């Protein structure tokens, strides 16, 4: 996983990691590595952090739940999405099939917010339905939707500096 800039406190890091895991941007192994990194810097790490470090066989939703046991996310999804979408953009350039996974995650996040994202994030509710329509031959193609998703995520490229290589 890209290292998060050290200026973020642990609850802010949890915010990014939790939403990133739920969207499929970060993997289970990314979360375990983050936990390992946290453990290495602490004299007496919390049991929940140690558990996360050992959860490599878990699914992303179990990981997201465990993150909340470690600390309370201090930022809401709408606050972290722009920088996560910058990271997703880079991945989409190399893995177009990731678009479908991202679209599903964006829709879940948008609906969990009770459809209350800022205007710039309003397309988050569009892509999952668009992929479904394209896959069923009703409207458009999946390649077209992936291009639209790439165009949408490119708006957030300036947020990429949150993550180092």
What residues in the chain have per-residue pLDDT under 50? 165
Q: What is the pLDDT of residue 147?
A: 97
Q: Tokens at residue 46, please? A: 């919390």
pLDDT of residue 158: 81
Q: Give the C-alpha separation, 26 to 111, whole Å.
A: 20
Instruction: Please report which residue ranges of the chain form alpha helices under DSSP H.
Output: 10-23, 28-41, 47-53, 60-70, 77-94, 98-112, 127-135, 142-154
- The pTM for the full model equals 0.87
């Amino acid at each position: 996983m890209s290292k998060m800039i050290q200026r973020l406190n642990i609850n802010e890091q949890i915010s990014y990691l939790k939403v990133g895991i739920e969207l499929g941007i970060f993997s289970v192994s990314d979360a375990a590595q983050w936990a390992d990194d946290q453990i290495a810097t602490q004299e007496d790490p919390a049991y929940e952090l140690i558990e996360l470090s050992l959860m490599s066989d878990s699914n992303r939703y179990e990981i997201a739940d465990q993150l909340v046991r470690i600390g309370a996310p201090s930022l809401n999804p709408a606050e972290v999405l722009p920088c996560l979408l910058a990271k997703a953009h880079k991945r989409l350039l190399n893995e177009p099939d990731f678009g479908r996974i991202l679209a599903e995650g964006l829709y879940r996040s948008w609906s969990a917010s009770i459809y209350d994202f800022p205007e710039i994030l309003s397309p988050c509710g569009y892509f999952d339905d668009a992929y479904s329509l394209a896959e069923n031959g009703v409207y458009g193609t999946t390649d077209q939707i992936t291009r639209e998703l790439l165009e949408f995520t490119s708006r957030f490229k300036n947020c990429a500096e949150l993550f180092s290589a």
